[in-house]
Amino acid sequence: MSRRGVSREGVSREGVARSLTHLSLVAASVVVLLPLLVVLLTSLKSEKEMANDSGALQLPDDPLNFDNYVTAFQDGGMLSAFGNTAFILLFSVTGTVIIGSMAAYAIDRYTFRFRKLVVALFLVATLVPGVTTQVATFQIVDSFGMFDSRWAPVVLYMGTDIVSIYIFLQFVRSIPVSLDEAARLDGAGAFTIYRKIIFPLLKPAIATVVIVKGITVYNDFYIPFLYMPSEDLGVISTSLFRFKGPFGAHWETIAAGAILVILPTLIVFLFLQRYIYNGFSRGATK
Amino acid sequence: MTDTTEKAARPKEAAPAATTARPRAPRGLRLRRGLTPWLFLAAPLVLLITFTYAPVANMVAYSFTDWDGVSPELSYTGAENYVELFTRPELFEVFFVSGYYLAASVVQIVLALHFATVLSFNVRFRNFFKGVLFFPYLINGVAIGFVFLYFFQDGGTLDSVLSLVGVHSDRAWLGTPESANVSLAGVSVWRYTGLNFVLFLGAIQSVPGELYEAAELDGATRWHQFRYIIAPGIRPVLSLTVILSVSGSLSAFEVPFIMTGGATGTETFVIQTVKLAFQFNKTGLASAAAVVLLLIILAVTWVQRRLVPDDKVDLV
């Protein structure tokens, strides 16, 4: 960065390097936050302000003008969208936790024939890009009569989540086998061991899976877009996407809708930061 | 790694297995032992096969037909779909769009490495910066699409910022294919850098601290520390990131679909496949396209595994 200095200048070079790295951090933060802040400002402007060509960086006249949020919430069908999203979240996350922990328990605690094959099946599945296989998945979901119902996303989220199985698997391994054995001596069967010993001890892993899966499902756009086209079956992603038509040029309403969608994520993130970092990095590195 | 836990300890109580064998009978016992893991695996495996493997198998089958996805009749056309894919230029031109996203991935990885290195040392407001960099990855894709539609529109965020510094641009950022693709690729850098950054940061922090201390004592500069301690330590994560980036660039979909719908030359391979399947009812051709993409991604992964042997502990 700086010219090759003599060693005596080492101190000041260090200083220059340090302020440059700080500068890069500040610049990155501006790049990340500015687009979001502008949308927040826009969402607080009135229709008149927008028509008078208020610049993107201008502050709104009334920083407490929440009219657009009311419009977005009511006319944009956000209430039913949040309801549908909550429904899908509840079922798919619960299902993922139960299914993933059961699979991890069986794979880790038992040796059985074809075990390697089962693990390989789960492994290879992570490489299949979900978006492309929808061409054929669609036919299967349709043949179950689930098209245009809230169950389609639920089963798809449950059935195609390999990452959670990995997170559980790593964790089940760390639970000492002696616990299982002690329980078995007390006459507990396989299911009792799973329910009374393994599952309760998996709490940290469950928290991680719930958060990671929850955020993924909350943000997913394509599956609801494809399988739930009905007007009353919007989730937050698809309902927001529909703002494009009726609110075409009403950026203040679209901005309010976007902020409404981002806000829950921000709150969850602020409260659960550590879990989120760990969860997403563990999920990705498997 | 795994121990068999069905050791000699004989359960006094019948496990809830679908067997009527008397617990005492050794054969019945063995049967139950064999069955137990499968009872736990039944639901996950059924779902996995139904929603991952069956679709892949069907997709391969559809790719040799001219099926439209709805009508009861279809005829086998052999490799015709594949021939069409590789001979009609407009069908494989979409792969060039992936080039923009690949270039963006390089930028993304470099930025993520830089920030992960910087923030692995003690910097003031470290957690704030970490949070700010990562947060975009968590935002809903549709919201991101709208945020950036406003960012790029005439008189939007970008134009306003530019006019602040005295540049008056009168260009429609999403108006020409090249500019639109660069803009969209930029959005994907904004969105995904945070994930790569957090992965790198985790890897860097798993390097024992004594190494840095020893290096400091030996008078190593920051650059030396990066070159000789950090870089080797994060090689596995780096290679994983490269795979994720390549397959991500090939299957770029959400941001361009939401923002431009594939207009003005921003159509990616996946957008095209989706349109073929669900707008033009060319299920056969779309399946062939999806199979091609799947094969490319599997090939990329395989090559990476051969080049960078995984020194991570395997699952089994």
pTM: 0.85
Q: Hey, are the CB atoms on A190 and B15 less than 8 Å from each other?
A: yes
- pLDDT digit string (tens) for B233-242? 888 888 888 8
Q: Hey, are the CB atoms on B148 and A240 less than 8 Å from each other?
A: no
Q: Hey, are the CB atoms on A129 and B283 less than 8 Å from each other?
A: no
Count of helix runs (H) and strand runs (E) in chain B: 16, 0
Please tell me what DSSP assigns to residue B91.
H
Residues β-bridged to residue B65: B76
Rounded to the nearest angstrom, the minimum Cα separation between A109 and chain B is 6
Tell me which of A240 and B73 has the higher pLDDT.
A240
- pLDDT digit string (tens) for B127-177? 999 999 999 999 999 999 999 999 998 877 888 888 888 777 767 788 888
- pLDDT digit string (tens) for B13-67? 434 444 444 444 444 444 556 788 899 999 999 999 999 999 999 999 999 998 8
Rounded to the nearest angstrom, the minimum Cα separation between B9 and chain A is 6
Phi, psi of B65 (to 5 degrees): -125, 175
Mutate to test the interface with B, among A18, A135, A173, A179 (most CBs of B within 10 A): A135
Low-confidence ranges of chain A (pLDDT < 70): 1-11, 54, 246-248, 285-286
Residues 110-169 of B with CB under 8 A from A: 111, 114-115, 118-119, 123-124, 127-143, 146-148, 150-151, 155-157, 159-161, 164
**Among B234, B227, B232, B225, CA closest to B201:** B234
Closest to B50 (Cβ–Cβ): which among A33, A123, A140? A140
| Separation between Cα atoms, residue B89 and residue B86, nearest integer Å | 7
Which residues of B fall within a CB distance of 8 Å from A173?
Answer: 1
Residues 59-78 of A with CB under 8 A from B: none
> In this predicted structure, what is the pLDDT of residue B33?
63
> In this predicted structure, what is the pLDDT of residue B261?
87
Closest to A123 (Cβ–Cβ): which among B3, B146, B315? B315
| Separation between Cα atoms, residue B28 and residue B283, nearest integer Å | 49
Within an 8 Å CB–CB cutoff, is residue A56 touching chain B? yes
Residues β-bridged to residue B76: B65
* Tokens 């970092």 -> residue: A277
Q: Which two tokens stand for residue A27?
A: 């610049």
Q: Hey, are the CB atoms on B2 and A284 less than 8 Å from each other?
A: no
SS3 at position B65:
strand
Q: Hey, are the CB atoms on A25 and B293 less than 8 Å from each other?
A: no
**Is B269 within 8 Å of B94 (Cβ atoms)?**
yes
Within an 8 Å CB–CB cutoff, is residue B244 touching chain A? yes
> In this predicted structure, what is the pLDDT of residue B186?
95
Please tell me what DSSP assigns to residue B76.
B
Mutate to test the interface with B, among A19, A133, A165, A222 (most CBs of B within 10 A): A133
Phi, psi of B76 (to 5 degrees): -75, 130
Q: Which two tokens stand for residue B120?
A: 């692995």
Q: Which two tokens stand for residue A71?
A: 């419009």
Closest to B258 (Cβ–Cβ): which among A21, A103, A241? A241
DSSP for B16-49, please give it: S-S--S-TT-HHHHHHHHHHHHHHHHHHHHHHHI
**Among B109, B74, B94, CA closest to B276:** B94
Q: Hey, are the CB atoms on B47 and A32 less than 8 Å from each other?
A: no
List of residues 6+ apart from B177 with CB closer than 8 A: B264, B265, B266
